[in-house]
Amino acid sequence: MPVLALPAVPSAAASYGTPTITLSAGYLSGAVGAVGDPTVGVTVAQSGAPASALTVAASASTRSSVARTGDVTVTGSGGSRTLAVAAQGVGYTDLTVKVTGLGGRTATRTLHYAASAAVRDSAASRYLTGSSDASAAVDAGGGYIVVGDDETNTLRLYDRNNSGAPVRTWDFSSALGVDREIDIEAAARVGDTIYWTGSLGNNKDGKVKPDRQTQFATRVTGSGADTQLSLVGSYHGLRDDLIAWDSAHGDRYGFAAGAADGQAPKQIDGFNVEGLEFAPGSGTTAYIGFRAPLAPAVPGGRALLVPVTNFPSLLDGSAAHATIGEPVELDLGGLSVRDLRRNALGQYLIVAGSWAAEDNSAPYALYRWDGRPASAPVKLIDLPTGDAGAWEAVPDVPDLDAPGARAQLITDNGSADLYGDGTAAKDLTHPEWKKSRSTWFTLG
């Protein structure tokens, strides 16, 4: 009787497919000694096997002095995991991330990792990635802030308590009719409207750039992670209005000369705006805070605020020109305004810094003020300058009389060499490697 051949029984290994692994981003930034650095999502699967049976780990590093395989941790047990890296040193490394499935089958992906240096107050610091040039910020409620930068016209919504990428972005360039950077340097919120302004100054080479003369307003709907912005108005004549006012008052502050073609803006007698906030009890009079000039334009001169008494009317089109009030000169120890913010109690914080361009080394301080011209600001703290970045933004102001009051400040890291390769952060190729730093300071 003939014997029938039975089909071969496949081995257990042959019943499993090759695993798949996907990273939510191919690039990641961290910092030595950081708390809560940005993470990357890892998605894994294998046909014929439950995702919980797969293991994920780093299997190689091209530069262990920056991060070793053991510095990579992966949490989670299903198809979606979270990968974090604890930096060992400054620089770049490529980390091989491997998934191992049933049957011994594997797959890998490469994560390009960059680590910056340790900073003072690392436990109170977080990193806002996607841009290195934060220059203005306002509170969006629910633990979120809207941040503008001075290299692009993009507004970004961040979780202010955690490092990572923006959760939402907006760019109103087309609607505003601009195709170059506005050089966003300041913002202020009144109710559901956020007002933004460019620096009004020339570029660093002294060339007049009309797009930098832009102010615009955005309407806020929702709050927190659900915040949405829409454009509601713009104005492009404030620079001319300020120069005309100064010329009509005997060139009191030298605006025309400071803004002339060929004049760099970050000079003691230059023309450059970096602060915007409304006067006490007002939603119509806005203080325009100048980085330059000082008043007078000599070492030790006072910081300058110019009130525009019809600011919202400029942006909604109901006023043709700015109405200028009596300027306010403040003793900030020879420093100028780098940001200005008011709370509902009428308390102001002023971020004071140098008019000069040495952003990563010049002195900075935080002052308290009551917003009234006759009142003198009071220094609260000197801000640390040993780490990369210029202190540029304060999103909101706590009750300054409350014990243990804390304020969050944000740096512009654009000119900083974050990773030790001589590349300014603003020139980095990958947005995931660009970052500004926020730090909470106790003011009591």
Spatial contact of 204 and 264, defined as CB atoms under 8 Å apart:
yes
Do 48 and 194 share a domain, yes or no? no
Assess whether 345 and 398 both reside in one domain. Answer: yes
Q: Which domain holds residue 30?
A: 16-116
The first and second tokens of residue 180, run together, are 């170059």
- Asked whether residue 150 is domain-assigned, the answer is yes
> Based on the domain organization, do 375 and 430 belong to the same domain?
yes
Smallest Cα–Cα separation from 46: which of 72, 17, 24, 11?
17
Residue 5 lies in a domain: no
- Looking at the fold, whether 110 and 126 belong to one and the same domain comes out as no
Residues 237 and 291 in one domain: yes
Domain count, the chain: 2
| Residue 394 placed within a domain | yes
CATH code where residue 105 lies:
2.60.40.1080
Residue 34 lies in a domain: yes
Same domain assignment for residues 330 and 313: yes
- Of the three residues 116, 138, 166, the one that is the final residue of a domain is 116
Question: Pick from 96, 116, 136: which residue ends a domain?
Answer: 116
- Do 285 and 413 fall within a single domain? yes
Same-domain pairing of 311 and 435: yes
CATH for 345: 2.115.10
Q: Does residue 11 form part of some domain?
A: no
DSSP 199-237: --S--TTS---GGGG-EEEEEEES-GGG-EEEEEEEE--
Both structure tokens of 178: 């601009």
Q: What is the pTM of this model?
A: 0.94
pLDDT in tens, the chain (444 residues): 444 443 443 444 458 999 999 999 999 999 999 999 999 999 999 999 999 999 999 999 999 999 999 999 999 999 999 999 999 999 999 999 999 999 999 999 999 999 999 999 999 999 999 999 999 999 999 999 999 999 999 999 999 999 999 999 999 999 999 999 999 999 999 999 999 999 999 999 999 999 999 999 999 999 999 999 999 999 999 999 999 999 999 999 999 999 999 999 999 999 999 999 999 999 999 999 999 999 999 999 999 999 999 999 999 999 999 999 999 999 999 999 999 999 999 999 999 999 998 777 789 999 999 999 999 999 999 999 999 999 999 999 999 999 999 999 999 999 999 999 999 999 999 999 999 999 999 997
Map residue 131 onto helix, strand or coil.
Answer: coil
Indicate if 349 and 420 belong to the same structural domain: yes
